[in-house]
Chain A
Amino acid sequence: MIRFRTTRSPIPTLCICWLLLTLLVALITPILPVASPDTAAPERAWSAPGDGHLLGTDALGRDLFSRILWGSRISLACAAAGAFTALIFGVSWGLLAGGGTARRDNWMMRVVDLLDSVPVVFLVILLASVARGSAWQHAGGGLALFFVVLGIVYWTPMARVVRGETRALARREWAVAATALGTPSSRILWRQILPNLIPTILVTVTLIIPRVLLFEAFLSFLGLGVQAPEVSWGTLARDAFEVLNPVHTAWWMVAFPSIALALTLLALNILGDALRSDLDPKLRR
């Protein structure tokens, strides 16, 4: 178990426990004895918690508790998609950029800057419409496309961080010495520099995932996110927003999904901070 030297408190460990619990629940949800998230019982729409529905029901009378559980699956899948793309593309791009010549570094980072400036919504609309009629449309229940979008957007922060660190490391004496010894640069990059980056990469991943989930919620706000009948925490947040008005305040629809989402994101953020402080090589004695 990692001991968190810097903070010396149990909170980061608690965070890890919560995240593992969420992951576990998400994985075993299909076999849990909860109501199906799709069972609409419109006559019981908007009912408060209690009486058969642990956390209440939504606009079509669907059980909120089961929707939160099933929603966690899709949300975590989104997180995984973002993390995966960040890992594969972001790390390689950053390594190649930071470990290469200044010219290559310059051009590669220009591309990253460019991608950051292009508005994402265009890409979302375009991809969704381009995919229509092709096999992509229904792959993974329509979500595969969505994951591609998330991946495209979120590999750039990883690339930047990895590039910065690689640049710093590549100027260290041992890297210079390795080059002088005739080691091919790709080997230096992958075998020697990359292992040193793992703490940073880990930290960055834990800090990218909250952004991915918030972006998914943002797309749901626009109507471009995960579509019915799939449910995710982003769509639940959107449904919550619908009832945040002074006329009809179904508090359970706001409170419970928010708590689930907030706890998870908080856990990720706190964990990321703790990891960053803990894995800082300067603190190693």
Chain B
Amino acid sequence: MDSVSPKSLLDFRFLLLLSLDLVFLLLLDLGALLDLQHAGLGQSDGEVFSLGEASLSFQLKDAFVASQDISSSLEPVTGLQGPVNRHLLLLPTGTLRHHACWAQILDRIDNDRGKSPEPAGRNRQHPVTVQDNGLPCYRQGKPAIWRGLPGRGHKPMIAAESGQRMKFRTIAILISFGIATSIMALLWRSPLPGRADLVIGNGTDPGSLHPHRATGNPEGRIIRAIHEGLVLLDPETLDPMPGCAESWQISADGRHYQFQIQHGLRWSDGTPLDADDFVRSWLDLIDPLQGAPYGDLLESVTGARQWRNGTGEREQVRIQSLDSTLLEIEFDHPVPWFLYLCAQTPLQPVHPDSAGRAGPGIATNGPWMLTRWSLRDRIRIETNPEYRGPSRPTLKSIDFLAAESANTQLNIFAAGLSDWTVRVPAAAIPILRSDPIWSPRWRADPYLGISFYRLNLERPPLDDPAVRRALSLSIDRQQLCRDVLGGDPEPAYGFVPWPSPAIERQQQKLIDRGIPSALTSGLPGYRAMVAIGSEYNGLHGVIPAHQVASEDWPRLGYDPRTARELLSEAGWRVPGSTEGREIPTLEILHPSGSTSSLVAQWLQLAWKRELGLDSTIQTLEWRSFLDVQRAVDYDISRSNWIADYPDPATFLTLFTSDSPNSRTGWSDSEYDQSVALALAEGDPELRMQLWQQAEKILLERGPVLPLWSMTSGNLVSEEVTGFFANPLDQHDLRAIGRRSR
């Protein structure tokens, strides 16, 4: 069903089904309604009399004796003249029991009625039925159920044989059921022309498919397929390749970019696409009034910050089209990751008529277009006939399934209904890695994300650096990764994930599992820093990671003995001794989710065992958790951070004093300065060194407890080709194909 239409409540199929369902239910009560109607409207020709107690029988008996005609027998009692036809006599309780003559009277009424022989079977009519104050009674073995109670006055009533009523009701039910089922069958006949070329279990129904509003990966996957930015990324190396732009030039200082846009590009509605569309889209992205969540990605464009502060104007932002195919952009400081950004979701061009919405009716410019969005079911994209860009994808149609539960996604994949799923339940991962049936399909590739705990340095005992180091040293991250996470992620001892020793180990794991894909490095050119235990090869404190051999990596930060020494030197009590202050209880805060819960419990046990530290675990639902974290009302709280682009800046700018996402209350002017210097530096080598210094400060006195470098988890069917590992888990659908079924 199309959903981008106002007043979809008037969708005829919905109305039809709703009304038919109501009719169906009403038909079930049609019998009752008819009865009540008759009770109210007096369409019968009978009457009901409620007779008094004692005097009745004598009167009637006498009258009966007096006259053989039943109507004249009843006349003095009921006052009714004429033939006794369709009458109901209501007696007080117990009258029947006490006056056996009634049976005779009733039989006489029956025989009296028709001089003609009684017709056989169900068509026999009982014009007179006697009721004993409302309860059903029996005559000649046939039940006579009546309907309704008369009121004070005379309300006409029909008493019909129950068999007829039952028949009517059964027919009504069957008819309405038949109607309802045929309508339901109609609804399923929705035009779903077979299975798409590729079916992806996308993890959730996307939020918004508008490039400026989208925030997550499920949205991003679809948007990057139906839109095309200036640049595309090589599926393996993430190097920039021509997209809408045929070529580009970067100035020597890294602050000016010029793009030549291909001629003849079109939107999916046929209108032409040129540089002005990019200018408008990017300015809208930066526009503070439009509130794009990722607008800050372009904040370093000259003039952007002023505009967002309110001190500048839209026209002063240095994004310009020199003519219809030449685009120019200028930055305040070098942004080496800008080409990467051009391929990302927020920087995709947006059609002028989109008005902030996306959907099957809105034009886009990618090799596919959105043809169907069945809410919470699937999204289908199909080949865009107006596409004029450089990609030559092989898939003609792609479905994105919106199943939410990880178990369901796995079931769908296991049943062969999807070819690639992005979410699996954590409990399945150990088997997926090791079982020979599943292992070739399970891709756990390094993902530029770090899983860590935020620390609140205002709360004791976390204000003591010795305690912080002890907490870190007493965690065996290797064991944590193996036990709780299934063994794919690697321990992390620094804040920028996947330094070279970790990458080497990950490569070895893949080789051991027989996965042939080549693996790229985590962050090209960056040599991360790591905080180590007591000492390594004569080095102490925070050292460059590449100086660590990969076999030493797992145990690098695990040294409980040193942890206990640090604590006792700082005056805290350690297990096995009675001197020193007792360490206050820590509260471990985490959002609901099985992995977070297991990690928290694991930490609780590890700290108790190694340091004698007591901790409590507090779980909150996701948004309540974010609220508490923002208010810095925690001791330690679970966190992840995923790279926006492949550069250390995306990690290390998180904890500057003016970052909106710090959520730790930590502010260090030396760190701020260090970050600012690194951001402004043009020379790549020097920049990397400056970032290393910033990371060193963060690890020495910052509010982080790094745990592991994240891995992406994808289950990919063996028939899918072109699926390469890359550290940003961006698998361009243009490169993906399918072997014949």
Contact = CB atoms under 8 A, between A and B. Distances in A.
Interface string B602-631: 101100000000001111110010011000
A242 B428 CA distance: 8
Given A42-B479, A129-B624, A247 B428 contact: yes
Interface in A88-143: 125, 128-129, 132-133, 137-138, 142
B598 interface: yes
B431 A248 contact: yes
Interface in A8-51: 38, 40, 42-43, 45-46
Interface string B393-434: 000000000000001001100100000000011111011100
A195 interface: no
A59 B414 contact: no
B484 A128 contact: no
Contacts of A228: 597, 600-601, 617, 619
Contact of A247 (B431, B484, B605): B431
A43 B430 CA distance: 13
B438 interface: yes
B592 interface: yes
Query: Could you say which interface size class chain A belongs to?
Result: 20 to 34
Main secondary structure of the interface of A (DSSP, over half): loop
B620 A60 contact: no
Contact of A45 (B483, B600, B621): B483
A128 B601 contact: no
Contact of A229 (B601, B620, B621): B601
A241 B600 contact: no
A129 B435 contact: no
B621 A246 contact: no
A54 interface: no
Contacts of A129: 620-621, 624, 627
Given A59-B598, A228-B619, A242 B605 contact: no
A38 B605 contact: yes
A229 B601 CA distance: 7
A228 B588 CA distance: 11
B547 interface: no
Nearest to A246: B414
Given A129-B624, A129-B627, A229 B604 contact: yes
Contacts of B627: 129
B633 A133 contact: yes
Contacts of A142: 618
Contacts of B633: 132-133
Interface in B327-382: none
A224 interface: yes
Contacts of B40: none
B621 A125 contact: yes
Contacts of A46: 430
A40 B602 contact: yes
A128 B621 CA distance: 9
Interface in B27-75: none
**Chain A CB within 10 Å, residue with most, of B426, B479, B604, B605:** B605
A45 B432 CA distance: 16
A227 interface: yes
Interface of B: 407, 410-411, 414, 424-428, 430-432, 435, 438, 479, 482-484, 592-594, 597-598, 600-602, 604-605, 616-621, 624, 627-628, 633
8 contacts: A42-B602, A59-B598, A125-B621, A132-B618, A222-B592, A243-B427, A245-B428, A247-B424
7 pairs of A and B residues whose beta carbons are closest in the complex = A42-B483, A223-B592, A247-B428, A227-B619, A242-B427, A248-B431, A129-B624
